[in-house]
Amino acid sequence: MSAAYLDRFAEFICQTRYDDLTPSAVHAGKRVLLDNLGAIMRGSEEPENMKLSTLSRRDPGGRNAATLLAAGFPRTETSIAALINGVQACSVELDDGYRYATAHAGANVVPGILAAAEALGSSGRDLLLAVILGYEACSRGALALRTPKFVTIGHGLFAVLGTAVGVAKLKGYSAGQMREVINVATSLGHLSSYRVLLQGANVRNFLNGAGARDGILATELVECGYLGLLDGPATSYGLLGPFEPERMIDKLGAPYCIEQNYHKQYACNGNFDASVESTLRLRKAHGIRPADIRRIQVDIYAPYHTLDTARPRSTLGAKFSLRYAVAAVAVLGHANHEAFTAEARANTDIQRVAEVTQLREDAELAKRIPAIRPARITIELADGRTVSDMTEDPRGHYLNPFTDDELKAKFALLAGRYMVPAGVAAVTEMVMAIDGAGAAADLTAAMRSHAR
């Protein structure tokens, strides 16, 4: 296919107005916005992110046009807010994701688009539209790039693309300008090996923030007169694997990618959710204690059966070790962020159970993906019994979604660390009515006025 697909995609983004969106897409956009705001806030407490936030005290422009989603909600320069909020967004693995490709599009686009919307004085309606369309660009970029599993990670690649498209939409770019922004943005991607996750290298989180920052920068470069490649996505992404441009434009808006996402309740790799749910059910149904466990077998689709590090070196590494995650859940009875910290990894019960936990590929389970992500847990007990449980489709996933009330409760749990209860309620209400709000900055102003 010629680069004409870029013209069609750019025209779709530029021609789409808020009134063109389906009610389902609008509702999904509000859910994604609320969910990612909570995840960004909670990520602010990671030690390395707290140190990184000191960058906000070195504001070269002095404009203080955007808000850090952290304690007190201080204001800083737009690109710094995008960077730091972007780093925080994926730090605790509670952000959402697109079901049909490896893209955490909410975390990829919300930080940069929110910062730009504040600085530009955009309306709440325009913010929501930009998030939905940025999510579309990010997800379709990931969908078109057919790199094999566990080779690269997409945060540093697709955050730039999705953010750039969303910010260009806020700025009212023409189709020609939008195409140029896409071509420039795809040349600015940050590439990293998937091993950053397997080895627990949390520099991976920085890539998402850098992508948010550089997505804004891409629009500024185009305004300065910089030109990108003639076909940026195919040329740049094509270096990493087969690039199928037809996936960028197939059935645009029918449905929007944001309608095919999943939300997470467990602070680890989303492909672990079924394993976590089955482990929790077995633990509760049989009153299983750590000393009762002789062996655990996890049956899952490839290649997740290879994520078997028993003693991960960092919190991020623990969140991407299925072997560790199942052991921690079996011992602690939850998969909250605290199950993956240094304190939890030092727990001798978790260490022992991780040593007797085995992962096995199940080709039959693989037939259900990508829409359905099942797993089976079998536990051999010290008294000789064997108990087993299978989760077909975890809660929060595309075809088994959380209710609005469940997502609001998750947001309250995360955001309640930074705002008083009245503030949590006010911000929740504002997000769910963001298309009727005044300026996007009113949302962050409400956070600041209700800060703890």
Model confidence over 126-165: pLDDT tens digits? 999 999 999 999 999 999 999 999 999 999 999 999 999 9
Task: Give the relative orientation of helices 155-170 and 175-185 as an angle to the nearest 10 degrees.
Answer: 160
User: Would strands 261-262 and 357-361 be described as parallel, antiparallel, or unpaired?
Assistant: unpaired
Residue 377 falls in which region: left (phi positive, over 0), alpha (psi -120 to 50) or beta = beta
Residue 64 confidence class, pLDDT cut points 50, 70, 90: confident
Residue 57 confidence class, pLDDT cut points 50, 70, 90: low
CA atoms within 13 A on the CB side of 425: 3
Instruction: Note whether 260 and 400 are within 8 A (CB).
Output: no
Read off the pLDDT of each residue in 367-374 and give the average, rounded to a whole number: 93
pLDDT of residue 53 exceeding 50: yes
pLDDT of residue 54 exceeding 80: no
Read off the pLDDT of each residue in 357-362 and give the average, rounded to a whole number: 98
pLDDT tens string 413-424: 999 999 999 999
CA-based nearest residue to 400, from 373, 365, 377, 366: 373
Type of residue at 148: P
Read off the pLDDT of each residue in 46-60 and give the average, rounded to a whole number: 75
Residue 1 confidence class, pLDDT cut points 50, 70, 90: very low
CA-based nearest residue to 276, from 199, 332, 202, 315: 332
Rounded distance, CA 1 to CA 46, Å? Answer: 45
**pLDDT > 70: what percent of the chain?**
98
Element (H, E) at 65: none
pLDDT of residue 95 exceeding 70: yes
Report pLDDT for 56.
58
Type of residue at 409: A
Read off the pLDDT of each residue in 218-240 and give the average, rounded to a whole number: 95
pLDDT tens string 179-198: 999 999 999 999 999 999 99
Residue 206 confidence class, pLDDT cut points 50, 70, 90: very high
Rounded distance, CA 139 to CA 166, Å? Answer: 13
| Residue linked to tokens 């990671």 | 46
Read off the pLDDT of each residue in 348-359 and give the average, rounded to a whole number: 98
Residue 58 confidence class, pLDDT cut points 50, 70, 90: low
Q: Which value, to the nearest 10 degrees, does the dihedral of the CA atoms of residues 108, 179, 173, 79 take?
A: 40
DSSP assigned state of 292: G
Report pLDDT for 280.
98
pLDDT of residue 59 exceeding 90: no
CA-based nearest residue to 106, from 34, 170, 49: 34
Report pLDDT for 437.
76
pLDDT of residue 60 exceeding 90: no
Provide CATH code, domain 4-265+429-446: 1.10.4100.10
pLDDT of residue 388 exceeding 80: yes
Report pLDDT for 2.
63
Residues paired with residue 360 on neighbouring β-strands, in sequence order: 299
Report pLDDT for 52.
86
Contacts of 32 (CB under 8 A, 6+ apart): 96, 106, 110, 131, 135, 258, 261
Residue 292 confidence class, pLDDT cut points 50, 70, 90: very high
Read off the pLDDT of each residue in 244-248 and give the average, rounded to a whole number: 97
Mean pLDDT of the chain: 95
pLDDT of residue 343 exceeding 80: yes
Domain chopping of the chain, boundaries: 4-265+429-446, 270-391
Contacts of 160 (CB under 8 A, 6+ apart): 185, 186, 188, 189, 190, 211, 214, 215, 218
Q: Which fold has domain 270-391?
A: 60s Ribosomal Protein L30; Chain: A; (3.30.1330)
Rounded distance, CA 254 to CA 136, Å? Answer: 11
Rounded distance, CA 321 to CA 198, Å? Answer: 7
SS3 label, residue 390: strand
